[in-house]
Amino acid sequence: MTRGILFLLILNLNLSAFCQVIRGTIFDQKTKEPIYSASVYFNGTFGGTLTDKDGKFELDVSKYAGMQLTVSALGYYSVSMTSFDQGKPVDVYLTPKLFELEEVVVKSKSHSRERRENLTIFRSEFLGTTSNALNCEIVNEDDIRFIYNKGNDTIRAYSLKPILIDNSALGYKITYYLDKFEYFKQSSAFIFNGNAIFSEDTSATGNRKLLFERKRKEAFKGSRMQFFRALWNDDLNNAGFTVKNSSNETLSSKKIVTQADSRTRYLKYPGGLALSYYSKTPASFIIFMKEKVSFNANGYYDPSGISWEGEMAKKRIADLLPFEYVPE
Q: What average pLDDT does the segment 223-243 reach?
A: 96
pTM given for the model:
0.85
- Residue 269 phi/psi, 5-degree rounding, is -165, 140
pLDDT digit string, tens, across residues 17-30 = 345 889 999 999 99
Highest mean pLDDT among 70-84, 172-186, 219-233: 219-233
CATH no. of 2-94: 2.60.40.1120
- Residue 106, pLDDT above cutoff 70: no
Residues 6+ apart with CB under 8 A from 251: 243, 244, 245, 269, 273
CA separation for the pair 148, 146 (Å, rounded): 6
- Residue 131, pLDDT above cutoff 80: yes
- Residue 91, pLDDT above cutoff 90: yes
Stretch among 93-102, 128-137, 290-299 having the lowest mean pLDDT: 93-102
Give me the residues paired with residue 182 across strands. 156, 191
- Per-residue confidence (pLDDT) for residue 151, from 0 to 100: 67
pLDDT digit string, tens, across residues 31-86 = 999 999 999 999 999 999 999 999 999 999 888 877 889 999 998 999 998 776 66
Strands 21-28 and 90-94: parallel
How is the chain split into domains, by residue range? 2-94, 101-200, 223-319
Residue type, 110: S
- Residue 197, pLDDT above cutoff 50: yes
| Three-class HEC string of the chain | CHHHHHHHHHHHHHHHHHCCEEEEEEEECCCCCECCCCEEEECCECCEEECCCCCEEEEECHHHCCCCEEEECCCECCEEECCCCCCCCEEEEECECCCCHHHCCCCCCCHHHHHHHHHHHHHHHHHCCCCHHHHEEECCHHHCEEEEECCCCEEEEECCCCEEEEECCCCEEEEEEEEEEEEECCCCEEEEEEEEEEEECCCCCHHHHHHHHHHHHHHHCCCHHHHHHHHHCCCHHHHCEEEECCCCCEECHHHHEEECCCCCEEECCCCCEEEEECCCCCCEEEEECCCCEEECCCCCECHHHEEEEEHHHHCCHHHCCCCCCCCC
Closest CA to 98 of 147, 152, 151: 147
- Per-residue confidence (pLDDT) for residue 79, from 0 to 100: 92
- Per-residue confidence (pLDDT) for residue 83, from 0 to 100: 72
Is the distance from CB of 60 to CB of 21 less than 8 angstroms? yes
Closest CA to 229 of 326, 130, 132, 328: 326
Is the distance from CB of 22 to CB of 86 less than 8 angstroms? yes
Rounded to the nearest integer, the mean pLDDT of the chain is 86
